[in-house]
Amino acid sequence: MERSFIFYLLLLLCIFSFADAGSIGVNYGRIANNLPSAVKVVQLLKSQGLGRVKVFDTDPAVLRALSGSGIKVTVDLPNELLYSAAKRMSFAFSWVQRNVVAYYPSTQIEAIAVGNEVFVDPHNTTKFLIPAMKNIHQALVKLNLHSAIKISSPIALSALQSSYPSSAGAFRPEFIEPVFKPMLDFLRETGSYLMVNAYPFFAYESNSDVISLDYALFRENPGVVDPGNGLRYFNLFDAQIDAVFAAMSALKYDDIRMVVTETGWPSKGDENEIGATIQNAAAYNGNLVRRILTGGGTPLRPKADLTVYLFALFNEDEKNGPTSERNYGLFYPNEQKVYNIPFTVEGLKDYKDSRSSVSGGQQVTTPVVGGVSKSTTGNTWCMANQDVGKEKLQAALDYACGEGGADCRSIQPGATCYDPNTIEAHASYAFNSYYQKKGRDIGACYFGGAAYVVTQVPKYGQCEFPTGY
């Protein structure tokens, strides 16, 4: 009882001490045929105290409705326009005039998202991203709006090569020179920030047997210590965000800020979408709002107060994909809340997370921090961390294939996984064999910091990595 009272007292102190610590916004998607008018949506946003909104286009009805509302707006230049914006400065200038200048400043446009998750776009528009960002910014410069309106581009966590542990966060190497370095240089030069879309739900859904639900939902849990930096993490969101911070730090961009442009949890899903319930969605989003508005950054960046946009404002009935895709909404189209959570510091005073029982996999006390993107199989694998150096990898490989009992026959000369004949490839195969034999226990993929868990099947040549024994 005494501990609970102290926790509650500290929470109240946080609420009153860090009222302006972070900021909550919402994504206003419109892939539906039953949504209220834009005018009603703006009234809804204001009634809920939501002062920031992100839209996925520049629909005139929406931007006009937001005029005079005091709500700060992030608009989007869609992926299909990246080519034109990159190739023709005249197009970029005309686009800014039609879609920004025509509404600003009555509509408080504060940022332009140039594309969205471009690296996973099947149309392969990555090479046009940086030129498009620069041309849109140059248009703002000509119109003297570059100081007021920032340019960035949301990235998915799949842009990371590794995210576990957080300290090992690294961007995919094929994107570093052509995209990430010039993008981060641009963000630094223009005083902008990196936009990141982060979904702990995907990691939990794919690995519910090894990720604690309490850890995924910001509830009280033992946490997990990152072996690389010694920091203890108490929620998966912080761990994912710090993996991106670590990736930027590895490239010497510690000064770049971050905005989380999408995060959320579905209230309904298909039978195999573990954890997609109203109770879990309410806990994730409600506890996230409390986490952001009561101040403090992440363990790695404790002073980096975050702006976070919840996904999404409404359930959208015309979205493709699994059931979850149509059930991320905070509101039904009739403007009724799907579940009751606050969006303001004032609302937090009466907020309490309702711990309802939910179905899911076995819950363990020490959670996996990984999960850079959704696994299509629900499996996890163990990979070698090349950053520790060849000597440490070799020692760990010797242990795995020796007293560790890993099945290393496939990486012997002439065997199916001998090629490529590199210490990293061989160590990854051996580490994964050990990890799978140990039932994918989180402690089985460590090897003194020489290994980490991934949710996408590893590929080295024609070698197939086992998923269980």
The residue among 367 and 241 whose pLDDT is bigger is: 241
Average pLDDT over residues 146-164: 94
State what percent of residues in the chain have pLDDT above 90.
65
* Phi, psi for 398 (deg, rounded to 5): -60, -40
Let me know whether 342 and 385 are in one domain: no
- Containing domain of residue 435, as a range? 381-454
Let me know whether 294 and 388 are in one domain: no
Cα 146 to Cα 135: distance, rounded to the nearest angstrom: 12
Contacts of 80 (CB under 8 A, 6+ apart): 123
The residue among 90 and 440 whose pLDDT is bigger is: 90
List the catalytic residue out of 262, 325, 335, 391: 262
In this model, does residue 19 exceed pLDDT 60?
Answer: no
262 is catalytic: yes
Give me the pLDDT at residue 385, please. Answer: 83
The residue among 247 and 19 whose pLDDT is bigger is: 247
Which CATH number does the domain housing residue 143 bear? 3.20.20.80
Give me the pLDDT at residue 370, please. Answer: 37
Nearest to 165 by CA among 452, 468, 457, 454: 452
Domain annotation covers residue 371: no
Let me know whether 329 and 450 are in one domain: no
State what percent of residues in the chain have pLDDT above 70.
89
DSSP for 72-114 reads EEEEEE-GGGHHHHHH-HHHHHHHHIIIIITTTTTSEEEEEEE
Domain annotation covers residue 24: yes
pLDDT per position as a tens digit, 263-305: 999 999 999 899 999 999 999 999 999 999 987 789 999 988 8
pTM: 0.75
Domain annotation covers residue 133: yes
Domain annotation covers residue 134: yes
Let me know whether 344 and 392 are in one domain: no
Give me the pLDDT at residue 137, please. Answer: 98
pLDDT band at residue 4 under the 50/70/90 scheme: very low
Tokens 């060849």, located at residue = 390
pLDDT band at residue 121 under the 50/70/90 scheme: low
Segment among 249-253, 322-326, 403-407 with least mean pLDDT: 403-407
The residue among 434 and 252 whose pLDDT is bigger is: 252
Give me the pLDDT at residue 193, please. Answer: 98
Give me the pLDDT at residue 371, please. Answer: 36
Let me know whether 332 and 266 are in one domain: yes
Average pLDDT over residues 162-186: 93
Domain count, the chain: 2
pLDDT per position as a tens digit, 42-95: 999 999 999 999 999 999 999 999 999 999 999 999 999 999 999 999 999 999
Let me know whether 256 and 117 are in one domain: yes
Give me the pLDDT at residue 310, please. Answer: 98
Segment among 95-104, 273-282, 415-424 with least mean pLDDT: 415-424
Give me the pLDDT at residue 122, please. Answer: 60
Let me know whether 217 and 269 are in one domain: yes
Going from the C-alpha of 123 to that of each of 79, 155, 156, 180, the distances in angstroms are: 9, 16, 16, 19
Give me the pLDDT at residue 148, please. Answer: 98
Domain annotation covers residue 310: yes
Domain annotation covers residue 3: no
In this model, does residue 98 exceed pLDDT 50?
Answer: yes
Give me the pLDDT at residue 300, please. Answer: 95
Q: Which amino acid is at 52?
A: R
Let me know whether 269 and 385 are in one domain: no
Domain annotation covers residue 197: yes
Let me know whether 237 and 328 are in one domain: yes
Give me the pLDDT at residue 468, please. Answer: 64
In this model, does residue 375 exceed pLDDT 50?
Answer: no
Give me the pLDDT at residue 454, please. Answer: 77
In this model, does residue 10 exceed pLDDT 70?
Answer: no
Let me know whether 186 and 284 are in one domain: yes
In this model, does residue 115 exceed pLDDT 90?
Answer: yes
DSSP for 184-251 reads HHHHHHHT-EEEEE--HHHHHHHTTTTS-HHHHTT-----EE-TTT--EES-HHHHHHHHHHHHHHHT
pLDDT per position as a tens digit, 299-334: 999 988 899 999 999 999 999 999 999 999 999 999
The residue among 367 and 349 whose pLDDT is bigger is: 349
Let me know whether 267 and 391 are in one domain: no
Q: Which of 348, 365, 394 is the last residue of a domain?
A: 348
Segment among 34-48, 289-303, 427-441 with least mean pLDDT: 427-441
Give me the pLDDT at residue 356, please. Answer: 43
Domain annotation covers residue 422: yes
List the catalytic residue out of 117, 273, 325, 346: 117
Segment among 13-22, 117-126, 341-350 with least mean pLDDT: 13-22
Half-sphere exposure in the Cβ direction for 451 (13 Å, CA):
32
Cα 363 to Cα 304: distance, rounded to the nearest angstrom: 31
Tokens 């309802």, located at residue = 356
Q: Would you say 309 and 26 are in contact if contact means Cβ atoms under 8 Å apart? A: yes
Let me know whether 338 and 439 are in one domain: no
